[in-house]
């Protein structure tokens, strides 16, 4: 941020009275421009065959991580709830028809000032297709998940937690709500 | 937002290519200024006496809702995780020493573009005191909670869910993780 969005004067970095952090402050109109983390919200669309879960993944048609696999997810908008954001992204990126379930994971990605949320979702049919931000949409059983070609660490962690919970379901457990922090960037495989 | 924070040119409202929402766009440098919900994060600081929970509330020394009771909470900052934000706000607003527990509630407040998160917390001692944004800090047993003088609907809902879970704890249950949407503003009592 270089200029005040209220009066167009150049902003400066200073600690406002009663605060303890550097902020972009406008010396002309006094506006303090706070910057806060953004929420990225998506779903884990599940199709069950004989009690075995398949999960819908999309390849990204946009940067960052063009061509890598992801769960459908994107930035939450001002005019929606977290559940609405998860459902919207699933339609936009995977063209999928779902019944949204419970919150499953909340993962901090402090390094990029984001919090990622994933909801469980039940696929209602197999009529899905890539949206404008996806190249391909495909169902994967656990043993077929392209672990080395996943786009983001939150997708990897959420899938790991999901299949761990599925194993517990077989022993009478239930899905948990998982929270955690991502502290390292995704390893980029060497060419 | 009136001016571009990158080049100071007046922004206009338009739907960018490949998008479906009105955004503040700079016609000079092309920057799209996205606006996204903010996260407000806090804790439910609990002190147990003979198996009965008392909860720490603060009266707000700032607007909005000056003088009303709240759980310690505030806007999440870029340089922290959700758990760190909850712990920091509890220190800043209540001067309390806590051991942070699990995520307890995630509540959408779509009307003001916010998502509120509250974590369980165990008070380690009774050495607490109001910070700069609080007038008073006090422990309340369930029957003493000032329900009509609470600052925000997410505080009310979180306290209701907390005491409902406490009742279940006595029957061998455990705390849940609760998600929901706040659809109406806090009723302001008539003078």
Instruction: Tell me the pTM.
Output: 0.95
Chain mean pLDDT for chain B: 95
CB contact under 8 A, B78 and A7: no
Q: What is the pLDDT of residues A63-115, one digit of tens each?
A: 999 999 999 999 999 999 999 999 999 999 999 999 999 999 999 999 999 99
How sure is the predictor about A185, in pLDDT bands with cuts at 50, 70 and 90? confident
Q: What is the pLDDT of residues A122-135, one digit of tens each?
A: 999 999 999 999 99
Considering only CA atoms, give the Rg of chain B: 20
At residue A191, the pLDDT reads: 45
User: Does the domain made of B1-35 have the CATH classification 3.40.50.300?
Assistant: no
CB contact under 8 A, A103 and B177: yes
- CA gap B57, B121 in Å, rounded: 13
Q: Is the pLDDT of residue B93 over 60?
A: yes
Q: Which of B4, B8, B113 to probe the A interface (max A CBs under 10 A)?
A: B8
Helices (H), B109-172: 153-169
Fold of A38-181: Nucleoside Triphosphate Pyrophosphohydrolase (3.90.79)
Average pLDDT on B61-67 reads 95
What lies within 8 Å, CB to CB, of B132 at 6+ separation is: A18, B61, B92
CB contact under 8 A, B103 and A35: no
Q: For B136, which DSSP code?
A: E
Among B18, B76, B102, whose Cβ lies nearest the Cβ of A37?
B76
Q: Please state, in angstroms and as integers, the Cα–Cα distance from residue A171 to each residue in A166, A168, A174, B177, following that order.
A: 9, 5, 9, 22
Among A8, A38, A79, whose Cβ lies nearest the Cβ of B8?
A8
- How large is the ipTM? 0.94
Q: What is the pLDDT of residues B154-182, one digit of tens each?
A: 999 999 999 999 999 988 889 999 999 99
Dihedral sign of CA atoms A151, A156, A158, A164 in order: positive
Q: Is the pLDDT of residue A188 over 80?
A: no
How sure is the predictor about B141, in pLDDT bands with cuts at 50, 70 and 90? very high
Q: Please state, in angstroms and as integers, the Cα–Cα distance from residue B140 to each residue in A5, B56, B155, B185, following that order.
A: 43, 6, 14, 24
CA A190 to chain centre: 25
Instruction: Indicate the domain borders of chain B.
Output: 1-35, 38-181
Q: What is the pLDDT of residues B7-49, one digit of tens each?
A: 999 999 999 998 999 999 999 999 999 999 999 999 999 999 9
* CB A81, CB B37: distance < 8 Å: no
Q: Is A110 exposed, middle or buried (0-12, 13-18, 19+ CB in 10 A)?
A: middle
b/e B107-130 (16+ beta carbons within 10 angstroms → b): bbbbeebbbbbbbbbebeeeebeb
Average pLDDT on B123-134 reads 96
How sure is the predictor about B184, in pLDDT bands with cuts at 50, 70 and 90? confident
- Triad A54, A57, A60: Cα angle to 5°: 170
């Amino acid at each position: 941020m270089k200029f005040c969005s209220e009066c167009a004067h150049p902003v400066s970095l200073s600690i406002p009275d009663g605060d303890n952090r550097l902020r972009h402050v406008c010396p002309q109109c006094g506006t303090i421009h706070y910057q806060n983390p953004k929420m990225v919200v998506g779903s884990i669309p599940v199709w069950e065959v004989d009690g075995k879960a398949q999960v819908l993944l999309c390849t990204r048609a946009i940067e960052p991580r063009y061509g890598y696999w992801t769960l459908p997810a994107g930035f939450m908008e001002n005019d929606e709830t977290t559940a609405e954001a998860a459902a919207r992204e699933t339609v936009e990126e995977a063209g999928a028809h779902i019944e949204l379930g419970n919150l499953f994971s909340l993962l901090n990605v402090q390094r990029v000032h984001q919090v990622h949320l994933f909801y469980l979702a039940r696929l209602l049919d197999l009529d899905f297709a890539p949206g404008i931000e996806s190249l391909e949409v495909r169902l994967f059983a656990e043993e077929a998940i392209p672990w080395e070609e996943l786009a983001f660490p939150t997708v990897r962690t959420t899938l790991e937690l999901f299949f761990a919970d599925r194993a517990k379901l077989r022993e009478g457990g239930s899905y948990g709500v998982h929270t955690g922090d991502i502290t390292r960037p995704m390893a980029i495989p060497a060419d």
